[in-house]
Amino acid sequence: MKGQENAKRALEIAVSGAHNILMIGPPGSGKTMLAKRIPTIMPPMSFEEALETTKIYSVAGSLLNKGGLIKKRPFRAPHHTISDVGMVGGGHPPRPGEISLANNGVLFLDELPEFKRNVLEVLRQPLEERRINITRAGISVTYPAKFMLVAAMNPCPCGYLGDRIHTCTCSVAQIQRYRSRISGPLLDRIDLHIEVPALSYKELSSKEEGIGSKEVLERVLRAREIQRERFKNFKINTNSEMQASHLKKFCKLDKESQSLIKDAVEHLGISARVYSRILKIARTIADLDESDDIKVDHVAEAIQYRILDRKLLF
Ligand SMILES: Nc1ncnc2c1ncn2[C@@H]1O[C@H](COP(=O)(O)OP(=O)(O)O)[C@@H](O)[C@H]1O
Ligand SMILES: [Mg+2]
Ligand SMILES: [Zn+2]
């Protein structure tokens, strides 16, 4: 994986704080490639996680090697034509869907705006509750659904808005319609959105490699440890799970950082509602920096990962 330093950094932050992430970029920019490598920078599965994952695959009847334990974190990438039952589970008897097959791993939704509206709708509750209850013909089962949501989309229907070489052929109305398919409560569950631009020839021909590097994983593990310690008397484990009371306690900002966010709200068109999301990301960035305090640099970087909130994109 060459270049894309900004995207790699964002993915490291996302995995560190267990934040969901949306990647926006033209076709061929490497979004799928990046998504597939995310499990390589996630902490290894604990024995309990491996058992839980294996159990789900067993119930789903998709255990490849009978009797063996699944040790690799799942990576699920259902096609956008998937039904709501395929996504969350169902049938007689109720079987786990993609969100449970992705448990302890990654659920990758490529071409996010192409998914059926009802399929995106049914994701909201499991994203919140981290499990899914399925009731069919009087039988009710609950399956775990703790997954990292990774989504990708083009910036516009033709894919080339903001591209350096190609010209976008979409009208403003087309772009707005395309974006509006995912706006609202689902977007609210996604802490980071980043641009993944097409690489230049120079970058593509460079020799530099990596995202799954050992150093990244080490930083992720350290950041997770800091969070575990912070939340040991609370019922959460990661920064992404913070509620208002945690934010108040653990995300205090100095004057400089406060005025930076205020400026962002006023000038970039970022809504005040997004404030808490910026705080969560800034907290994770500070943890990666092994800093107790959230500093202005952390906040400045966090604001960069909210591109969809800006009125003018790219
Ligand atoms: N950063 C990169 N480093 C190496 N190869 C890349 C990179 N970005 C894209 N590619 C190449 O381009 C192909 C398309 O990338 P892909 O991840 O499918 O793009 P997208 O999902 O954004 O459409 C990949 O199979 C890979 O060969
Ligand atoms: Mg792709
Ligand atoms: Zn376009």
- Asked if the structure places residue 204 within a domain, the reply is no
Which atom in ligand 1 lies closest to the alpha carbon of residue 34? Answer: 17
Quote the ligand 3 centre to 197 CA distance (angstroms).
Answer: 14
Q: Assess whether 223 and 92 both reside in one domain.
A: no
Q: Assess whether 46 and 139 both reside in one domain.
A: yes
**Would you say the CB of residue 154 lies under 6 angstroms from ligand 1?**
no
Q: Which H or E run includes 249?
A: helix 244-250
- Strand, helix or coil at 278? helix
45-65 burial code (b ≥16 CB/10 A, e <16): beeebbebbbbbbebbeeeee
Quote the ligand 2 centre to 25 CA distance (angstroms).
Answer: 10
**Would you say the CB of residue 199 lies under 6 angstroms from ligand 1?**
yes
Q: Assess whether 29 and 176 both reside in one domain.
A: yes
Q: Assess whether 146 and 253 both reside in one domain.
A: no
Quote the ligand 1 centre to 185 CA distance (angstroms).
Answer: 30
Answer yes or no: are the C-beta atoms of 99 and 126 closer than 8 Å. Answer: yes
* CATH (domain of 176): 3.40.50.300
pLDDT digits 0-9 by tens, 25-64: 998 899 999 999 999 999 999 999 999 999 999 888 766 6
Boundary (domain end) residue, out of 190, 223, 257: 190
The number of domains in the chain is 2
> What is the 8-class DSSP label of residue 73?
P
Q: Give 80 or 184, the one with higher predicted confidence.
A: 80
For residue 261, what pLDDT is reported? 86
Quote the ligand 3 centre to 249 CA distance (angstroms).
Answer: 43
Average pLDDT, the chain: 89
Tell me the percentage of the chain whose pLDDT exceeds 70: 90
Q: Assess whether 147 and 284 both reside in one domain.
A: no
The answer to which of 6-20, 55-69, 159-173, 221-235 has the lowest mean pLDDT is: 55-69
The two tokens of residue 148 are 């990292």
- Asked if the structure places residue 248 within a domain, the reply is yes
Which atom in ligand 1 lies closest to the alpha carbon of residue 35? Answer: 17
Q: Is a pLDDT exceeding 60 seen at residue 312?
A: no
Q: Assess whether 221 and 182 both reside in one domain.
A: no
For residue 63, what pLDDT is reported? 66
pLDDT digits 0-9 by tens, 97-150: 999 999 999 999 999 999 999 999 999 999 989 999 998 778 889 999 999 999
Of 8, 11, 23, 33, best ligand 1 pocket probe by most atoms within 8 Å of the beta carbon: 33
**Would you say the CB of residue 31 lies under 6 angstroms from ligand 1?**
yes
For residue 231, what pLDDT is reported? 97
pLDDT digits 0-9 by tens, 200-256: 666 666 665 555 578 999 999 999 999 999 999 998 999 999 999 999 999 999 999
Q: Which H or E run includes 127?
A: helix 124-129
Whose CA is closest to atom 5 on ligand 1? Answer: 1
Q: Assess whether 50 and 185 both reside in one domain.
A: yes
Q: Assess whether 34 and 105 both reside in one domain.
A: yes
Identify any residues that bridge with 150 across adjacent strands, giving them in sequence order: 21, 108
Whose CA is closest to atom 26 on ligand 1? Answer: 30
Q: Assess whether 86 and 233 both reside in one domain.
A: no
- Asked if the structure places residue 73 within a domain, the reply is yes
Q: Assess whether 231 and 140 both reside in one domain.
A: no
Q: Assess whether 233 and 125 both reside in one domain.
A: no
- Asked if the structure places residue 76 within a domain, the reply is yes
> What is the 8-class DSSP label of residue 200?
P
- Asked if the structure places residue 15 within a domain, the reply is no
Tell me the percentage of the chain whose pLDDT exceeds 90: 65
Q: Is a pLDDT exceeding 90 seen at residue 289?
A: yes
- Asked if the structure places residue 179 within a domain, the reply is yes
For residue 60, what pLDDT is reported? 84
Q: Is a pLDDT exceeding 70 seen at residue 273?
A: no
Pairing of strands 89-90, 95-96: antiparallel
- Asked if the structure places residue 143 within a domain, the reply is yes
CA pair distance 275, 234, nearest whole angstrom: 22
Q: Assess whether 186 and 218 both reside in one domain.
A: no
- Asked if the structure places residue 136 within a domain, the reply is yes
Range of the domain at 98: 20-190
